[in-house]
Amino acid sequence: MEVCRVCLEGPKVGSTSCRNNSDRYGGGGRGNYGEALRCERRVSALTLQHTSIEGRAIVRDEVVREPLSRSVEDYLKAIYHLSEDGRPASTSQIAEVLSLAPPSVSGMVKRLSELGLLTHEPYRGATLTAEGRHEAVRVIRRHRLIEAYLVGYLGYTWDSVHQEAERLEHAVSDELVERMATALGHPTVDPHGDPIPDADGAVARPKLTALADVDAGSNAEIRRVDTSDAERLRYFAGVGLVLGARVRVIEREPFSGPITLEVSGRSQVLAHDMAKLVYCAI
């Protein structure tokens, strides 16, 4: 089945147009377009190249930026996070993050590559292009500002805010997001300490150390907790490991064993895997 290369949707039942009212299909990237696409979900800054009806001239149309579909935004965001260390995101990693079957992911990766949002190398993985990274960072900014606003103004806690922001990030307007940023005083981190990209897409990354790697006898301040799992966040809050908390590492067991901390004057033993999720300034 052919799909619209703009919204990646198939045809409506009994129609030759896509589910979002595009007049023609791109043939999955094979050949010219026919007539210009008029889909409601247009890819940001995508240039369409097509042949006129008479078949005589090649025309290039610059499509006005409009929001991507939710599924495309989720893919771009997942690939961005998975490739932050500089390595491509594999199909199996993307499938695990998005809870999808690998064959479905492979098909979408191919389509996003045809749209210029990522590059894909067989047996290595997917890497975002400049355009794909721009779109991913835009969604991440929305998500983290929404989290900050919900916690700062609406009484959400850091363990309850993630799923709400996941729903809202695809629905709110850019104007509303920027008004949230202004109301919050343009914060640089969200409630979990994750950096909020600025309006130009720049991401500040201060040098932090995982609590699991802090030497015994050292003092540290909690700056970031790298999880959105509600149960783990509630546990961290319950033992005092929240943003801004000062801790002292008393002892580290060898071979990835637990570490013993002093938090708010109390001794606390923390599993190594949990300590790897907490990032500190020393």
Token pair for 214: 């802090």
pLDDT confidence of residue 22? 45
Both 255 and 220 in one domain: the answer is: yes
| Distance (Å) of CA 247 to CA 34, 201, 257 | 64, 33, 18
Whether 133 is covered by a domain: the verdict is no
For residue 268, what is the enclosing H or E element? strand 266-270
pLDDT in single tens digits along all 282 residues of the chain: 444 544 555 444 445 555 444 443 343 333 333 333 334 344 444 444 443 334 444 444 444 445 689 999 999 999 999 999 999 999 999 999 999 999 999 999 999 999 999 999 998 999 999 999 999 999 999 999 999 999 999 999 999 999 999 999 999 999 999 999 999 999 999 999 999 999 999 999 899 999 999 999 999 999 999 999 999 999 999 999 999 999 999 999 999 999 999 999 999 999 999 999 999 999
Phi and psi at residue 194, to the nearest 5°: -70, 140
Euclidean distance between CA atoms 208 and 205, whole angstroms: 8
- CATH label of the domain that carries residue 159: 1.10.10.10
Beta bridge partners of 260: 251, 269
- Give the DSSP letter of residue 223: E
Euclidean distance between CA atoms 105 and 75, whole angstroms: 9
Whether 220 is covered by a domain: the verdict is yes
| Distance (Å) of CA 191 to CA 62, 150, 204, 228 | 39, 10, 16, 11
Euclidean distance between CA atoms 94 and 96, whole angstroms: 5
Whether 161 is covered by a domain: the verdict is yes
- The last residue of one of the domains, among 183, 200, 217, is 200
Say if residues 40 and 17 touch (Cβ distance below 8 Å). Answer: no
Q: Which residue has the tokens 């003092």?
A: 219
Both 43 and 77 in one domain: the answer is: no
Which residues have C-beta within 8 Å of that of residue 31, sequence separation ≥ 6?
A: none
Whether 134 is covered by a domain: the verdict is no
Token pair for 4: 């619209």
pLDDT confidence of residue 18? 53
Phi and psi at residue 276, to the nearest 5°: -70, -20
pLDDT confidence of residue 87? 95
Both 273 and 213 in one domain: the answer is: yes
Whether 234 is covered by a domain: the verdict is yes
Which residues have C-beta within 8 Å of that of residue 258, sequence separation ≥ 6?
A: 269, 270, 271, 272, 275
Whether 74 is covered by a domain: the verdict is yes
- CATH label of the domain that carries residue 259: 2.30.30.90
Both 217 and 195 in one domain: the answer is: no
By residue range, what is the domain housing residue 41?
A: 1-64
CA 174 to chain centre: 16
What's the domain count of the chain? 4
- The last residue of one of the domains, among 17, 45, 64, is 64
Both 166 and 214 in one domain: the answer is: no
Whether 29 is covered by a domain: the verdict is yes
pLDDT confidence of residue 68? 87
Both 225 and 257 in one domain: the answer is: yes
